[in-house]
Amino acid sequence: MDRKPIATVAEFHDPNTLVAAASTIHQRGYTKFDCYTPYPVHGLDRAMGVRRTILPYISFIGGLSGLASALLLQWWTGGYDYRLNIGGKPFFAIQFSVPVDFELTVLICAFFTLFGLLHLCRLPTWWHPLQDDPSFRRATDDTFVVAIFSDDPRYTSADTQELLRSVGGANVHVHYARQNPVEDVAPIG
């Protein structure tokens, strides 16, 4: 039975070599590749061609939604639906609504930020196709790893392996899909 390749994987031991390799891979037109590192590497996202995130805009929309809902809630209850004359104060005044405005703005902004981040990161993801690869496992300890995925339009096994070797990759290999991933699951009970 012919096994399906998931990605071509290479190890790097120097962060500067990794950044240069990521830049070269991006310049060659590969779009579906990722770098795995044990700690953040400055400039790696720029070298990979990763665009800026839209998370600040999502947070801003959440903050505006929180502020608008706080103002609407207080105007509706105090100035329209349940009008109480307390000490001659107006039924709705912006000065008295500031604490509630602030709290609801922060709360709704936090919810938008959390759920926006989870969506953008595609979380929760309980399984990664490379999790059984020994190089991928070392990326949490002492190795930098680049994986070029097989669903990239420019991917060919031989050319991708040659590219990764030419940019300084060590232990370049193709990672294949598991034959039957259901066999690895332990029975319940």
Q: What is the pLDDT of residues 116-130, one digit of tens each?
A: 999 999 899 888 889
Q: What is the pLDDT of residues 105-118, one digit of tens each?
A: 999 999 999 999 99
User: Within this chain, do residues 39 and 63 fall inside the same structural domain, yes or no?
Assistant: no
Q: What is the pLDDT of residues 10-37, one digit of tens each?
A: 999 999 999 999 999 999 999 999 999 9
Is residue 189 in a domain?
no
User: Within this chain, do residues 78 and 42 fall inside the same structural domain, yes or no?
Assistant: no
Cβ–Cβ < 8 Å for 137, 160 = no
Is residue 83 in a domain?
yes
Is residue 184 in a domain?
no
User: Within this chain, do residues 60 and 113 fall inside the same structural domain, yes or no?
Assistant: yes
For residue 164, the model assigns a pLDDT of 95
Write down the residue that tokens 């690869």 correspond to: 133
Range of the structural domain that residue 158 is part of: 5-52+125-178
| Model confidence at 166: pLDDT above 90 | yes
Is residue 183 in a domain?
no
Q: Which of 160, 154, 189, 188 is nearest to 174 (CA)?
A: 160
Q: Which of 153, 145, 144, 147 is nearest to 176 (CA)?
A: 147
| Model confidence at 54: pLDDT above 60 | yes
Tally of structural domains, the chain: 2
User: Within this chain, do residues 65 and 96 fall inside the same structural domain, yes or no?
Assistant: yes
Distance from C-alpha of 35 to C-alpha of 17, rounded to nearest angstrom: 12
Cβ–Cβ < 8 Å for 156, 7 = no
Q: Domain boundary at 93, 120, 147, which? A: 120
User: Within this chain, do residues 112 and 141 fall inside the same structural domain, yes or no?
Assistant: no
Distance from C-alpha of 34 to C-alpha of 101, rounded to nearest angstrom: 42
pTM: 0.76
